[in-house]
Amino acid sequence: MDNAQVTETTKKFEQRSEKSIEFFKTEMQGIRAGRANPHLLDKVLVNYYGNMTPLNQMANVSVPEARLMTVTLWDASALKEVNKALLASNLGITPSDDGKIIRLVFPQLTEDRRKELVKQIKRQAEDSKVILRNERRDCLEIIKKLKKDSVITEDDLAQIEKSIQKATDKFIADIDKILAEKEKEILEV
């Protein structure tokens, strides 16, 4: 079985699945788990001279302590706009600055908030798994159509279905692993 359509279809399936896992990983990095994480600021956009600019492209973000993050701007004139963007970002943290450096102090999470975050990440993990299963379904539909059109044999179809299921199981295991790590991080006191 050396069919270009089959190869292209399975390759697209794997690429889309890997993108969905990368997206899930990125989403997990953006969730605050009681400790400072520079990735929390990845989505913060600042109105910098009329352009919406990612904060990490105009400042140095560092974590000197477990629950403290500092933002050192390269252009101190943007301090007011950065503060405004941080307040609007819904991080739940009020920035404080001394005219040069912005400090973000992360409060300890309550037990209820930790449980709420765990529920949220489990929902996101399940959504990612649904996306993977939809990708699998779409791929299998194309492969079954190729079988119906007599481009591939019944044995080829069974072999391809097995390999796609095996890949899907691996991708779902990857999501479960990411979820378990983030859940452990959130529940850690």
> Which residues partner with 51 through β-bridges?
48
Q: At what angle do helices 111-148 and 154-187 cross, to 10 degrees?
A: 170
Q: Is the whole-model pTM more than 0.85?
A: no
**d(Cα 12, Cα 107) in Å, to the nearest integer?**
43
* Tens digit of each residue's pLDDT (9 = 90 or more) over 3-60: 788 889 899 999 999 999 999 998 887 776 667 777 777 788 888 888 888 888 888 8
Kindly state the DSSP code that residue 46 receives in the 8-state scheme: E
Please report, for the chain, the start and end positions of each structural domain, with discontinuous segments joined by +. 4-30+110-187, 38-105
φ, ψ dihedrals at 73, nearest 5°? -80, 145
What is 38-105's CATH number?
3.30.1360.40
The superfamily (CATH) of domain 4-30+110-187 is Ribosome-recycling factor (1.10.132.20)
* Tens digit of each residue's pLDDT (9 = 90 or more) over 110-162: 888 888 888 989 999 999 999 999 999 999 999 999 888 888 888 888 999 99
